[in-house]
A = this chain, B = another copy of it.
Amino acid sequence: MKVLVINGPNLNLLGTREPEIYGSSTLSDIQQNVEGLLSQAGFSCDFFQSNAEHEIVEKIQAAISNTAFIIINPAAFTHTSVAIRDALAAVAVPFIEIHLSNPHARESFRRHSYLSDIAEGVIAGFGENSYYLACEAVIKRLQHPKKC
């Protein structure tokens, strides 16, 4: 069973960009940790970053046949992409929306997400730990689907 982890625009800068807000780990540090957590629980992981909305849309479309869960940090696309919302709704793979920082503590336009209302759940504000908590959530959900 595969878990797809999607990272939106500018997350390739992680570790170099405002470390006091986002931490000093790079996206590839996080990838390693995520892959470790998931493989330990018996899941494979497809870890993906793109700055292009259409590449994310197409990655989600491709998930339709072989993906048990999606973890998505949509970054800026949280607030602007109906196309990603529509792709997630179309493939009907359950997904978790995550954020490094807490969007409610930032500019007011970050309070609206095009994904939250169709997400399984939302995890925000824990820095790189948001990824690891989402892994835990996915593992719990796939191992004990009845629990929540």
Asked whether, in the complex, the Cβ of B104 is within 8 Å of the Cβ of A116, the reply is: yes
Asked whether, in the complex, the Cβ of A104 is within 8 Å of the Cβ of B79, the reply is: no
Given A57-B51, A76-B85, A83-B77, decide whether A123 and B133 contact each other with a Cβ distance below 8 A.
yes
Give the docked Cα–Cα distance between A132 and B125 (Å): 16
State the Cβ distance, A147 to closest chain B Cβ, in Å. 6
A23's partner among B82, B122, B148 (CB-CB below 8 A) is: B148
Given A90-B13, A123-B121, decide whether A50 and B54 contact each other with a Cβ distance below 8 A.
yes
Confirm or deny: A80 has a beta carbon within 8 angstroms of a beta carbon on chain B. Answer: yes
Q: Which residues does A use to contact B, with CB under 8 Å? A: 8-10, 12-13, 16-18, 23, 25, 50-55, 57-58, 61, 64, 75-83, 85-87, 89-91, 102, 104-105, 109, 113-114, 116-130, 132-133, 136-137, 140-141, 147-148
A118's partner among B57, B64, B105, B113 (CB-CB below 8 A) is: B105
Give the docked Cα–Cα distance between A123 and B80 (Å): 22
A10's partner among B9, B78, B79, B86 (CB-CB below 8 A) is: B86
State the Cβ distance, A104 to closest chain B Cβ, in Å. 4
